[in-house]
Amino acid sequence: MKTYKGFTLVEMLVVMGILIILMTMGIAAGRFAIQRANRVQHQNAADQLYQGLQAYYADNREFPDEATFGSWSAALGTGGALEEYLDSKSFDGGSDATFYYATDGNGQSVLICVTFGGLDDSQQLGGYCVGNGFGILPVNGSTKVSLKEMDDTTFNTLVISNAGGGAGSFLATDWVAAAKNWQ
């Protein structure tokens, strides 16, 4: 009688099950790493914009008001308020995001905020703010921004819902990664 050596169907199914579990874990870890990298890149971009604003403040003793600032594309563009303080050609805002700018009526407090979850935080991942206006801005809202990192509900309440212009509210400009430019 001849005997055959090989794997049984059950053994093959067990091995395939283990491989599927390992692949699922790898994909989840990869997505987390990409999301974390995008988050860090957005934070770094907001910090870089704030450094440019601090240099502007050092020369002018105030942050640009809404009319002088305009939008991120205007402020960083030719003749813009921040043109000489930031190199717009080397600026990279990361993946798609909306950047926000707010200053008080006196030009002494400023906040720069950015969404983590795409344009207007469409993926509901929250956002990040940097500046010296914590506890002060927005001036037209009853609750002030007091955290650097916020979940989507808090970010929407404090930043996105206070966008639209006017002293103490946030000016919003979209960063589109595919174009590597402000829209």
Q: Is residue 47 part of a domain?
A: yes
Domain tally, the chain: 1
Model pLDDT, residue 94: 92
Whether residue 77 lies inside any domain: the answer is: yes
Over the chain (183 residues), what is each successive 10-residue block's mean pLDDT? 83 94 92 91 96 97 93 93 91 95 92 96 96 88 88 93 79 94 92
Give the pLDDT confidence score for residue 121 in this predicted structure: 95
Neighbour order of strands in the sheet with 127-131: 149-150, 127-131, 110-115, 97-103, 171-176, 181-182
The reported pTM is: 0.85
- Confirm whether 9 is domain-assigned: no
Q: Is 74 helix (H, G, I), strand (E, B) or coil?
A: helix
pLDDT at position 177 is 94
Q: What pLDDT is recorded for position 166?
A: 65
Q: Is residue 115 part of a domain?
A: yes
CA nearest to 96, candidates 125, 71, 66: 125
Say if 166 falls within a structural domain: yes
DSSP states of 111-167? EEEEESSBGGGTT---EEEEES-TTT--TTSSSPP--SEE-HHHHHHHTGGGBS-ST
Does residue 26 form part of some domain? no
The pLDDT score that the predictor gives to residue 167 is 65
pLDDT, residue 116, reads 96
The whole-number pLDDT of residue 89 equals 86
Please check whether residue 108 lies inside any domain of the structure: yes
Structural domain boundaries enclosing 63: 32-182
Task: Answer whether residue 114 is part of any domain.
Answer: yes
